[in-house]
Amino acid sequence: MKLFLLFIFSIFSFSTFAITRPEIESLLKEKNVSLNRMEQKGAKVLFGEVTGHSPMLPFAKIQVLLTKDEAILKKDFDSVDFRGAQDWAHFVAVHSLGQLVLKQDIHAVIVLGQ
């Protein structure tokens, strides 16, 4: 029974952090951006980056940060906070259009030239 409850808990835990391609397309559409067009230009969606999948990814390659509720375009970054080098491993937060978005709130990123 304990294993069953642990399994159910883990499913709900992971589902709260997941973002799907249709959700990404919808968030980008709100910004008048097409994911298909971005991909045609060489962009790639990376999921799970908060877990350290691509820690050495240069932050300059990131074009869009995706939270569960918003696509934050690079052109809208007011400032970016790092602890060390300017790569994903040292990224802390981004200030965008009067909001502070922490790394832990990022569910996926769209990069160019990955």
- The predicted structure's pLDDT at residue 4: 42
Look up the pTM and report it: 0.80
> How many residues belong to the chain?
114
> Which amino acid, 73?
L
- The C-alpha atoms of residue 53 and residue 33 are separated, in whole angstroms, by 25
> How distant, in Å, are the alpha carbons of 34, 35, 62, 77, 104 from that of 40?
10, 9, 16, 23, 29
Tell me: the pLDDT tens digits for 5-41?
444 444 443 444 589 999 999 999 999 999 999 999 9
pLDDT of residue 113: 79
Q: Which helix (H) or strand (E) covers residue 2, if one does?
A: helix 2-15
Q: Give the H/E segment covering residue 64.
A: strand 62-66
Residue 92 reports pLDDT greater than 70: yes
